[in-house]
A and B are shown apart, each in its own frame.
Chain A
């Protein structure tokens, strides 16, 4: 019998802090869920912006800074990288479920490379129907498109495949 010993490292603790930093535009999901955090070490957190013009980018960095400082990691630096560019494929499964529960149709996993990525019918986050239509490819934030369910007639946001 080998008994497993769980070692909680500093990077685990920093990741746990990040798991509670919400996205400023969609507070239902954390910066970890969205795949914004690319790497965590004992000395730095590496993040990447979602869209180049997303006004939340600065707010996200400030929220992470505050959370790190408040939990005793003031010496951990935040660095930003553009490459490789952020993709919706990096949104975690838990993040996708949180988006759906929040009323935003999540992007299908692994679909960002597909030519059909934003043409496939989105599933209505309210009633689950696939009988939906796109109203506007651009929505209330850079990451969302505006859709409508033809079954329950509710409009909803769709997180764009990116």
Chain B
């Protein structure tokens, strides 16, 4: 795969894995409204993944469509960031993951909606409308849990503390990003960090929470170095196509 196809693949993998994770909440969320919210967000993410993976397959031009890329790759070929593959944990941990990721995705798509490559710009402009809902949902819950009871606050703090170490990876730039920018499709993610910090800090202040302590960032997702968790997620997600190749509805 060339750099531009890989760039689309990374975007698709982020959305796909987060969508699959959120789908695990279906029927298990603490309240009906939350169940609806998390599964709606999951649906949006899977929809975005379909577009980005479809685009990756089209650029690659080797006969792989979105389904082939989603269901016929092994764990080391996945290029998602480590944040999205983190297990759901409790509700606060899920919200922490969503909070950090949705604000990143919103900033990313705000910029990508303006790139020269119309294929990337069109998906980003469309997805941005949905992602701004996700960021609002997650922020609202960070405030409710953080500024809630002693128990909810402790859980929100613990959730953020776990997810925080995976935030730096979102803004790391490499050769693939540079090539995508040169091709008129990519975004300088490192330039998003200051605004992301500002948005995160504003919500944390509302939630009466302190920013988690900095710790050594965990990196590697873009290069296929994943946690053990991703393999388990894929074994569930890919089961049907692995067991019954080419099965259709």
Contacts and interface: CB of A to CB of B under 8 A. Distances in A.
A83 interface: yes
Given A82-B126, A137-B137, A162-B129, A52 B47 contact: yes
A146 interface: yes
Nearest to A135: B33
A90 to B, nearest CB: 13
B54 to A, nearest CB: 11
B118 interface: yes
Q: How large is the interface on A (under 10, 10 to 19, 20 to 34, 35 or more residues)?
A: 20 to 34
B6 interface: no
A54 interface: yes
Given A52-B51, A82-B51, A142 B43 contact: yes
A138 interface: yes
B50 interface: yes
Interface in A122-162: 135-140, 142, 146, 162
Interface string B41-61: 111111110110000000000
Interface of B: 19, 32-33, 36-37, 40-48, 50-51, 118, 121-123, 125-127, 129-130, 133, 136-137
B43 A53 contact: yes
Main secondary structure of the interface of A (DSSP, over half): loop
A49 B122 CA distance: 12
Contacts of A84: 125
B47 A54 contact: yes
Given A84-B125, A85-B125, A137-B133, A55 B43 contact: yes
A142 B40 contact: yes
18 contacts: A49-B126, A52-B51, A53-B19, A53-B42, A53-B46, A54-B47, A81-B122, A82-B123, A82-B125, A83-B118, A83-B122, A84-B125, A85-B126, A86-B126, A137-B133, A138-B40, A138-B137, A162-B129
Given A53-B43, A53-B47, A142-B43, A83 B36 contact: no
Contacts of A162: 129
A162 B137 CA distance: 16
Contacts of B48: 52-53
Most B-side CB within 10 Å, residue of A53, A81, A146, A162? A53
A136 B43 contact: no
Contacts of A85: 122, 125-126, 129
B13 to A, nearest CB: 16
A85 B126 CA distance: 5
Main secondary structure of the interface of B (DSSP, over half): helix
A73 interface: no
A51 B121 contact: no
For the complex of A and B, the 3 pairs showing the least CB-CB separation, nearest first, are: A53-B47, A52-B47, A136-B33
B112 to A, nearest CB: 13
Nearest to A162: B129
Most A-side CB within 10 Å, residue of B42, B50, B129, B136? B129
A135 B36 CA distance: 12
Interface in A57-96: 81-86
A139 B43 CA distance: 12
Contacts of B121: 83
A138 B33 contact: yes
B57 to A, nearest CB: 16
Given A82-B51, A137-B137, A138-B137, A51 B33 contact: no
A53 B20 CA distance: 13
Given A138-B33, A138-B37, A52 B137 contact: no
A53 B68 CA distance: 18
Interface string A101-140: 0000000000000000000000000000000000111111
A139 B44 contact: no
Most B-side CB within 10 Å, residue of A81, A82, A84, A162? A82
Contacts of A83: 118, 121-122, 125-126
